[in-house]
Amino acid sequence: MLKGKTAIITGGSRGIGRAIAERFAEHGARLVLVAREEDDLFDTATFIASRGGAAKTLTADVAVMDTARNAVALAREFGPNIDILVNCAGIITRTPFEQLSDAEWRSVLDVNLHGTFYFCQAVLPSMREAGQGRVINITSQMAKLPHPAASPSYEVSKAGMVALTRHLAYQYAPHNVLVNAIAPGSINTSLPKSMTEEARAKLKSGIPMKRLGEPEEVADAALFLASNLSSYITGEILDVNGGSLMD
């Protein structure tokens, strides 16, 4: 489905980002993976290479503007076009609103929202010139539904990604550049795995499907949005949450 395509994936070293990277590689995409964890990046790229895929890595912080430019330069070693951008890098904090420091507030927005902005700004002009492209922003159910255990900075950053997704979708639609987002709910990544059995059971009880989602299920949604199967979809925020939020 993605044979010959070049994709940049931020946060591609673990969790949902790694699952997306593996799924894209299975379908023929050549990857540039960007994250701060060098060992995790190496493990992901090695796994992909062992199955015949191609993945370059960039160990860097997406909150630094030059990271996006460097990722673009690395992607162009595969060829002139960057076909797919997935903004998956993100951080979350759980400090209550009244104790939230200015530094913590800014750090979350810098990674989640500003990092997405930097990568979109670095990639979208070339997609416009090529007359094709796909951008997929990984936001969150918490962009739409507040959660008492999350800091407001996380919810605000993800809501900002939703607004940015729709703005860019409208702006670039005439150029066949489609910009969509995925809003995962409770996914079985490192955070839920670290919970007690009691906490996990309580979390599952609030989901109509009575289970957590798997990173691979988010990856399948990303594959759909990256492929020609979604050729008439843009500006969409795709919920992947087992029915915990239906809108």
The model's pLDDT over 50-104, given as tens digits with 9 standing for 90+, comes to 999 999 999 999 999 999 999 999 999 999 999 999 999 999 988 999 999 999 9
Give the count of domains, the chain. 1
Q: 52, 161, 48, 171: which is closest to 108 by C-alpha?
A: 161
SS3 label, residue 58: strand
Please pick, among 118, 154, 172, 232, the residue that the annotation labels catalytic.
Answer: 154
Residue 154 bears catalytic tag: yes
Residue 95 counted as domain residue: yes
Q: Residue 244 domain-assigned? A: no
- CATH number assigned to the domain comprising residue 211: 3.40.50.720
- Is residue 71 in a domain? yes
What's the chain's Rg over C-alpha atoms? Answer: 17
Domain that holds residue 134: 6-239
**Cα 197–Cα 144–Cα 103 angle in degrees, nearest 5:** 80
The answer as to whether 246 is a domain residue is no
CB 163 within 8 A of CB 182: no
**Within a 10 A sphere around the Cβ of 60, how many other Cβ atoms?**
18
What average pLDDT does the segment 2-10 reach? 98
Over 70: is that where the pLDDT of 191 sits?
no
In a domain, 63, yes or no: yes
245 in a domain, yes or no? Answer: no
**Mean pLDDT rounded to a whole number for the chain:** 95
**How many other C-beta atoms lie within 10 A of the C-beta of residue 52?**
9
User: How does residue 194 score in pLDDT terms, banded at 50, 70 and 90?
Assistant: low
> Cα–Cα distance between 179 and 170 in angstroms, integer?
8
